[in-house]
Amino acid sequence: MPNPPARPVLHLFNGFQNPYGGSEQEALSLYALLKDRADVSLWATSSKVSRELMRQFPIRRVARRPGAFPQGGTYVFIGAHWRNKLWPYFVQKPRRLIYLYNTFHPKVVALTSAMPRLLGWPRTEYVLISSFQSRLLSLPGEVHPSPIDIERFRPAPRSPDAPHPRIVIGRMSRDVPEKHHPDDIALYRRLAASGYAVRLQGASCLADRLAPEDGIALSPEGAMPAADFLQGLDIFYYRSHTHVETFGRVVFEAMACALPVVCHVNGGYADAIRHGENGFLFETTEEAAALLERLAADAGLRARLGAAARATVEQMYSAAAQEQRLAFYLR
């Protein structure tokens, strides 16, 4: 009887520094999808790797000692790269080299595309996480949305007979200033003054500018599991500051929870949002305020946009679509 074909060997590299970071979640989601189909290893490229993540997942640090670096197969770098490192010279060169480019740093393209001649690694294959990112960087490659478990992010059960408390408008992100637009401070105060509840997770960095007031609640990133936090909202709002959202994972998690989303036009998520059909896009703060107030006043509109948002992510993450994307890594 012939021997069964060998399973593909894949090594996934990431900094694994922040348990709530989008890049880390992308790497771990890809691991979950691939681990039953291939021999998959997780490698931390940063010395600041999260101890919490190392406890939860079989993550190893890359180092120059036996067994502490990969040996052949397909190397997949996810939001991490290998510049100024010696270890690539001591490992078996990969059969394939994939760079999952989930950020906006044009200089990284040069660092990852021009490999040192002595290294002898194959040319880099790029995976981008949105058409927006591909256009922004003029970089060709596969376009795969960041993998999300939409069974974990599901619509919250809502009883039509339940009392109607005040509308909850919220957002969630990493707890860093570049994720928060300065104009949103006044917007949050305006919404709270209008009687809406504003919940901001990953916003403790705003505490010096936005003291908790009646109707405004600030919490650090990870204070609640992401799905639980989103299911407690009626409307999801999103805009970042200097950080360029090449995908916007949290927007799609909110859409998976059947939330109507109101998002700034500049972001990878905008490719999937059809204004007025499965969400709203805005350019100015005044437009954002008007759209939020319109949604808050119209339960039917919230339900219609939320259902269309859920349908959008179900199509993005259908079994057929996922299979096609996984085949790229396994071939």
Residue range 97-113, pLDDT digits in tens? 999 988 777 777 777 77
232-255: pLDDT as tens digits? 999 999 999 988 899 999 999 999
The domain 168-316 is classified under which CATH number: 3.40.50.2000, 3.40.50.970, 3.40.50.10140, 3.40.50.1100? 3.40.50.2000
Contacts of 274 (CB under 8 A, 6+ apart): none
pTM: 0.89
Domain boundaries, the chain: 9-147, 168-316
Comparing CA positions, the residue from 259, 265, 285, 122 lying closest to residue 191 is: 285
Q: Model confidence at 84, in pLDDT bands (50, 70, 90)?
A: low
3-state secondary structure of 230: helix
Confidence at residue 164, expressed as pLDDT on a 0 to 100 scale: 59
Listed in order, strand segments (DSSP E) in the chain are 9-14, 39-44, 59-61, 74-78, 96-101, 124-128, 142-143, 168-172, 197-201, 216-219, 235-238, 261-264, 280-282
Strands 216-219 and 261-264: unpaired
pLDDT at res. 161 = 54
Question: What does pLDDT average to over the chain?
Answer: 90
| pLDDT the model gives residue 103 | 79
At 59, the amino acid letter reads I
Given this chain, do its domains 9-147 and 168-316 carry the same CATH topology?
yes
Instruction: Give 249's strand partners.
Output: none
Query: Parallel, antiparallel, or unpaired: how do β-strands 168-172 and 142-143 relate?
Result: unpaired
Q: What is the pLDDT of residue 68?
A: 78
CATH code of the domain made up of 9-147:
3.40.50
Q: Is the dihedral of CA 160, 163, 167, 172 positive or negative?
A: negative
Look at residue 135 and tell me whether its pLDDT is greater than 80. Answer: yes
- pLDDT tens readout for residues 145-202: 999 999 999 998 876 555 557 899 999 999 999 999 999 999 999 999 999 999 999 9
| Radius of gyration over every alpha carbon of the chain, rounded to an integer in angstroms | 21
Residue 58 in 3-state DSSP? coil
